[in-house]
């Protein structure tokens, strides 16, 4: 993976646990095949999804109110595109960011959405069931 992100930031993204609020909750780990993820995509009749947040743009820490407002704006964009989604969050040690697993979005649209919300990266999931970190920097 080629990226201009600081190595410690890239490592943090790669070591994050990405949870999708489903029943039962689904844990996505970068580079680890996940049969439950394949089943989830199939159950929505899609072959791709993107795990995207609007929190802390460019890894700048914002207040909870600012992050909540950004997340609401992201949800508005997802709904305007009439895409299905599941709520989720990324978690690592004492850090947590709320996210959405956007179902049926294509990779380029996912990139555009992540860029619109000034994110360094997003998690891409396709029919292989192997989550991939896509960096934008």
Residues facing residue 126 across a β-bridge: 48
Residue 14 DSSP SS3: helix
Residue 56 DSSP SS3: coil
What's the pLDDT at 4?
Answer: 82
User: Where do the structural domains in the chain lie, given as residue ranges?
Assistant: 7-135
* Predicted confidence band of residue 137 (pLDDT cuts 50, 70, 90): confident
Residues 94, 4: Cα–Cα separation, whole Å: 25
Average pLDDT, the chain: 96
Instruction: Tell me the pLDDT tens digit for each residue of 15-25.
Output: 999 999 998 99
* Predicted confidence band of residue 1 (pLDDT cuts 50, 70, 90): low
Contact 126, 47 (CB under 8 A): yes
pTM of the model as a whole: 0.95
Which residues are within 8 A (CB) of 3 and not within 5 positions of it... i.e. 6 or more apart? 10, 135, 137
What tokens appear for 17 in the block?
A: 């646990």
Instruction: Tell me the pLDDT tens digit for each residue of 104-134.
Output: 999 999 999 999 999 999 999 999 999 999 9
Residues 135, 132: Cα–Cα separation, whole Å: 10
Task: Work out the number of other CB atoms within 10 angstroms of the CB of residue 45.
Answer: 9
Is omega for the bond preceding 132 within 30 degrees of 0, making it cis?
no
Instruction: Tell me the pLDDT tens digit for each residue of 61-77.
Output: 999 999 999 999 999 99
What's the pLDDT at 99?
Answer: 98
What's the pLDDT at 3?
Answer: 74
């Amino acid at each position: 993976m080629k990226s201009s992100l600081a190595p410690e930031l890239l490592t943090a993204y790669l070591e994050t646990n990405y949870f999708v609020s489903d029943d039962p909750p689904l844990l996505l780990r970068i580079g680890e095949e996940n049969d439950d993820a394949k089943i989830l995509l199939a159950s929505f009749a899609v072959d791709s999804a993107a795990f995207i947040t609007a929190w802390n743009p460019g890894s700048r820490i914002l207040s909870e109110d600012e992050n909540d407002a950004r997340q609401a704006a992201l949800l508005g964009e997802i709904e305007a595109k009439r895409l299905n989604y599941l709520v989720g969050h990324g978690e690592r040690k004492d850090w947590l960011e709320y996210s959405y697993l956007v179902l049926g979005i294509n990779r380029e649209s996912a990139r555009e959405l992540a860029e619109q919300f000034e994110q360094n990266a997003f998690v891409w999931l396709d029919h292989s069931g192997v989550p991939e970190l896509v960096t934008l920097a």
